[in-house]
């Protein structure tokens, strides 16, 4: 028996007042695509996973990508972050007007892309503190800023730790080493908070989180969201979208986006599954 | 015995000069050592334990020996700045195989402690010297040890009597100097009596660009409840062949930690021979080698649990680049009566080039039936997932590789029980991977 879940629709607060006040021309510029994916094809081990993705994400928007297992959601996230395991065979991706596919993973990160990993990697011997300091300073260097001072860095660590409810013990350890599943996911959002990216890609950040941790992570993501930024949320479940409200919901199936809609689409998927879309 | 013959002749021809420039305590052992050497010769690759490291070849050149103790004109305190400074240690020098006697004023040591020249120690403490010198460093089974004992004329000794703790770590800096290709035969003797505590850091440096063939025999005697830390840091030139033998014998409840960090070398063979002879003794052996070019590093550890309830732990890690070669053999022998033994061995290797090679052989011989023994061996490349993870945060690939390579060495550094030395080692390892660790980078003599 399927239990019906009644979910209250949350008011849309995404559009900022400024967008409606400014002249149409400026508004167009302002609304320019942050991310534009055109006919993206990608293969892994000679198997085509992405078969022509088209997607535009504007500043200020939150997009959710849903879809059944094996549809290519995580591949899309990996390709955007530049994972060398995946080979792009066709198509283009522009980010802030720059061709993303020409950049190595580190440069993409410096341009403002952040991937919250579905399975964060354990790196024994690299402390969280050194890792974050190195990453932050690389990004600052790229933007022509000075290295962060030791005291400012520690303060930033503390602030962001508190935002995500992360124990101070955790950041004094090696990267993800011995972290529980939930701690790893929380640590991803902690890193996101530290690096403050323009485009955050959350790859099943909700999986492995209990309901309290999910709330903390979601509120962290919401707190970091601002009109000039965008978020791509990859998830299986409506649950996360209760907390992180998307503007646009896409359904990815067999390497293509087969349906795009508003927040209601996620609710409909929760109720009806994917079958009605896959086998209409 | 072709290669050995010239050394046999040399020994016979110069025996009186060897003796005249040493002391009775050392001279006493030469005959037995000579007999053993004539029988054993240098180990060749025909022996299973030397399969990948033919030591006889090291001696197949025209090497000088400074048997007449001609002084080497250098004041190491003035000339030499070690890579591990400011450790707040008492610093001592061996120039080639001789103790540098013109020592500067050192911080006073606790009463009864002797640190200094082996020659002098044999005269001031003859009973203790005779009891321990060339005893656990057994000549009869090892041609290199026999050779060393034939020619060794001086060396370095630490003696810590019962219930004495030397708080400050001691530092011995071995300097290789010479105008012609040289053979250097060095001795180290560490005696920690009952409940004595001492920490020693040995740094190896090369000053001159000639070939050096160095044999070293280090004997560590740990009495009941004693604690000995023995760290070696090798930073030799590629022209140095180091044949090192570290022997340790441990009494009841003693704790010995030996860790060798091979930062830069030419050809190195480290033999470790540990015997746990008293119950509840604990031995920790660590080894880290970072090699590139044609560097060769061979660690052979033979650890014997002779009695019950002892604990041993071995961790050897190799980071091999370019055309370097690593060899590891870890032999653990658990005697029949050594029940409740805990013996762990781990060898991990990171290979970052197509041509680098590692030969690794765990060898556990267990004759007791109630023990916990394990060995682990992994060899691999840089973890691509970890590399991508770091890059995805904005760390460039080269930098990410560095972080991962340094991280690989972390747990060996963690074995070192001098905190300041740990920090310094991490810095040096960092520099080494970045190619910034110049041979004698801080050495005034080279400039």
Q: What one-character-per-residue DSSP string does A81-101 give?
A: HT-TTSEEEEEEEEETTEEGG
- B388 contacts in chain A (CB < 8 Å): 82-85, 105, 121
The 10s digit of each residue's pLDDT in A84-143 is 999 999 999 999 999 999 999 999 999 999 999 999 999 999 999 999 999 999 999 999
What pTM was computed for the model? 0.89
- pLDDT of A71 > 90? The answer is yes
Residue B14 pLDDT greater than 90, yes or no: yes
pLDDT tens-digit readout, B38-86 = 999 999 999 999 999 999 999 998 999 999 888 777 777 666 666 666 6
Q: For residue B384, list chain A residues with Cβ-Cβ distance below 8 A.
A: 84-85
Residue of A nearest to B402 (CA): A126
Least confident of A28-32, B89-93, B307-311: A28-32
ipTM of the complex: 0.90
Dist CA B415 CA B383 (whole Å): 24
In terms of pLDDT, which residue wins out, A36 or A20?
A36
Chain B residues with at least one Cβ partner in A under 8 Å? 383-386, 388-397, 399-400, 403-404, 406-411
Which has the minimum average pLDDT: A3-12, A117-126, B245-254, B287-296?
Answer: A3-12
Going by pLDDT thresholds of 50, 70 and 90, the confidence category of residue B132 is very high
CB contact under 8 A, A109 and B394: yes
Secondary structure class of B44 (helix, strand, coil): coil
Residue B442 pLDDT greater than 60, yes or no: no
The answer to whether B317 touches B409, Cβ cutoff 8 Å, is yes
CA-CA distance, A227 to B228, in Å (whole number)?
62
CA B211 from centre of chain: 19
- The pLDDT, as a whole number, for residue A16 is 45
Distance CA B400, CA B106 (A): 43
**Confidence at residue B285, expressed as pLDDT on a 0 to 100 scale:** 97
Residues B159 and B157: their CA atoms lie apart, in Å, by: 6
Q: What is the pLDDT of residues A144-180, one digit of tens each?
A: 999 999 999 999 999 999 988 888 888 889 999 999 9
Q: What is the DSSP letter of B179?
A: S
pLDDT reported for residue B326: 98
Do the chains contact at B389 and A121, CB–CB below 8 Å?
Answer: yes
A39-55 pLDDT per residue, tens: 999 999 999 999 999 99
pLDDT at B72: 74
Among partner residues A83, A134, A142, which is closest to B399 by beta-carbon distance? A134
Which residue from B150, B180, B171 is spatially nearest to B76, judged by alpha carbons?
A: B171
Query: Are the beta carbons of B403 and A126 separated by less than 8 Å?
Result: yes
Specify the higher pLDDT residue, A4 or A225.
A225
Average pLDDT, chain B: 93
pLDDT, tens digit, 9 for 90 and up, residues A227-265:
999 999 999 888 899 999 999 999 999 999 999 999 999
C-alpha distance from A26 to closest chain B C-alpha (Å): 32
B89-99 pLDDT per residue, tens: 788 999 999 99
Question: What is the per-residue pLDDT across B371-400, written as a single tens digit (0 to 9) for each?
Answer: 999 999 999 999 999 999 999 999 999 999
Residue with the larger pLDDT of the pair B106 and B434: B434
Region B173-186: what's the mean pLDDT?
92
Higher pLDDT, A20 or B255: B255
CA angle B342, B346, B347 (to 5 degrees): 160
Task: Test A125 with B395 for CB contact under 8 angstroms.
Answer: no
Q: Does A198 touch chain B (CB under 8 A)?
A: no
pLDDT bracket for residue B209 (50, 70, 90): confident
pLDDT band per the 50, 70, 90 thresholds, residue A13: very low
Nearest CB partner across the interface for A135, out of B395, B406, B411? B395
Min distance A105 CA to chain B CA atoms (Å) = 5
pLDDT at A21: 46
pLDDT at B108 > cutoff 60? yes
Q: Of all residues in chain B, what percent carry a pLDDT higher than 70?
A: 94
pLDDT, greater one: A11 or B257: B257
Contact between B384 and A84 using a beta-carbon 8 Å cutoff: yes
CA B75 to CA A193: how far, in whole Å? 56
């Amino acid at each position: 028996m399927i239990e019906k879940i009644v979910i209250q629709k949350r008011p849309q607060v995404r559009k900022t007042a400024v967008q409606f006040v400014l002249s149409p021309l400026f508004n167009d510029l302002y609304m320019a695509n942050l991310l534009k994916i055109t006919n993206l094809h990608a293969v892994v081990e000679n198997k085509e996973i992405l078969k022509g993705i088209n997607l535009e994400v504007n500043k200020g928007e939150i997009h959710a990508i849903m879809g059944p297992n094996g549809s290519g959601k995580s591949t899309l996230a990996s390709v955007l972050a530049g994972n060398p395991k995946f080979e792009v065979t066709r198509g283009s991706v522009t980010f802030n007007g720059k061709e993303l596919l020409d950049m190595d993973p580190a440069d993409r990160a410096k341009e403002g892309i952040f991937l919250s990993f579905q399975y964060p990697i354990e790196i024994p011997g690299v402390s969280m503190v050194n890792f974050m300091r190195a990453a932050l300073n690389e990004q600052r260097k790229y933007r022509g800023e000075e290295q962060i001072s030791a005291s400012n860095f520690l303060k930033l660590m503390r602030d962001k730790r508190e935002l995500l409810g992360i124990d101070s013990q955790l950041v004094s350890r090696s990267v993800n080493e011995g972290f529980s599943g939930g701690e790893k996911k929380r640590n991803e959002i902690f890193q996101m908070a530290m690096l403050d990216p323009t485009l955050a890609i959350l790859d099943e950040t909700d999986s492995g989180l209990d309901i309290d941790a999910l709330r903390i992570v979601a509120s962290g993501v919401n707190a970091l969201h601002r009109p000039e930024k965008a978020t791509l949320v990859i998830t299986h479940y409506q649950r996360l979208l209760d907390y992180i409200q998307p503007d646009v919901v896409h359904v990815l199936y067999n390497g293509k986006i087969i349906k795009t809609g508003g927040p209601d689409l996620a609710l409909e998927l929760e109720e009806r599954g994917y079958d009605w879309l896959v086998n209409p | 015995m072709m290669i050995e013959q010239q050394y046999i002749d040399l020994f016979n021809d110069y025996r009186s000069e060897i003796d005249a420039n040493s002391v009775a305590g050392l001279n006493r052992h030469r005959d037995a050592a000579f007999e053993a050497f004539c029988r054993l010769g240098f180990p060749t690759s025909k022996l299973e334990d030397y399969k990948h490291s033919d030591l006889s070849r090291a001696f197949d050149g025209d090497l000088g020996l400074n048997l007449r103790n001609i002084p080497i004109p250098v004041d190491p305190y003035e000339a030499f700045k070690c890579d591990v400074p400011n450790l707040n240690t008492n610093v001592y020098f061996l120039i080639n195989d001789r103790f540098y006697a013109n020592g500067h004023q050192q911080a006073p040591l606790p009463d009864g402690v002797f640190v200094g020249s082996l020659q002098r120690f044999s005269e001031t403490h003859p009973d203790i010297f005779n009891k321990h010198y060339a005893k656990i460093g057994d000549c009869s089974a090892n041609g290199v040890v026999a050779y060393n004992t034939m020619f060794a004329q001086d060396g370095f000794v630490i003696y810590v009597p019962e219930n004495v703790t030397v708080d400050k770590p001691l530092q011995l800096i071995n300097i290789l100097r010479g105008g012609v290709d040289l053979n250097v035969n060095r001795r180290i003797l560490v005696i920690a009596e009952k409940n004595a505590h001492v920490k020693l850091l040995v740094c190896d440096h090369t000053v001159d660009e000639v070939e050096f063939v160095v044999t070293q025999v280090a004997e560590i005697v740990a009495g009941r409840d004693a604690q000995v830390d023995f760290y070696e840091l090798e930073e030799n030139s590629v022209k140095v062949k180091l044949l090192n033998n570290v022997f340790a014998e441990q009494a009841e409840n003693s704790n010995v930690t030996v860790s060798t960090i091979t930062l830069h070398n030419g050809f190195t063979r480290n033999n470790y021979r540990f015997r746990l002879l008293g119950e509840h003794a604990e031995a920790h052996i660590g080894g880290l080698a970072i090699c590139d070019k044609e560097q060769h590093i061979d660690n052979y550890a033979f650890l014997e649990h002779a009695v019950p309830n002892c604990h041993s732990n071995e961790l050897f890690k190799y980071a091999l680049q370019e055309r370097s070669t690593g060899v590891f053999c870890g032999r653990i022998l658990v005697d029949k009566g050594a029940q409740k033994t805990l013996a762990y061995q781990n060898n991990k290797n990171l290979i970052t080039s197509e041509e680098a090679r590692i030969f690794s052989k765990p060898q556990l011989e267990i004759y007791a039936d109630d023990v916990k023994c394990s060995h682990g061996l992994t060899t691999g490349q840089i973890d691509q997932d970890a590399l991508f993870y770091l890059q995805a945060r904005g760390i460039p690939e080269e930098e990410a590789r560095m972080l991962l390579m340094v991280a690989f060495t972390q747990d060996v550094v963690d074995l070192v029980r001098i905190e300041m030395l740990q920090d310094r080692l991490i810095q040096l390892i960092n520099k080494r991977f970045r190619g910034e660790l110049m041979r004698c980078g801080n050495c005034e003599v080279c400039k």
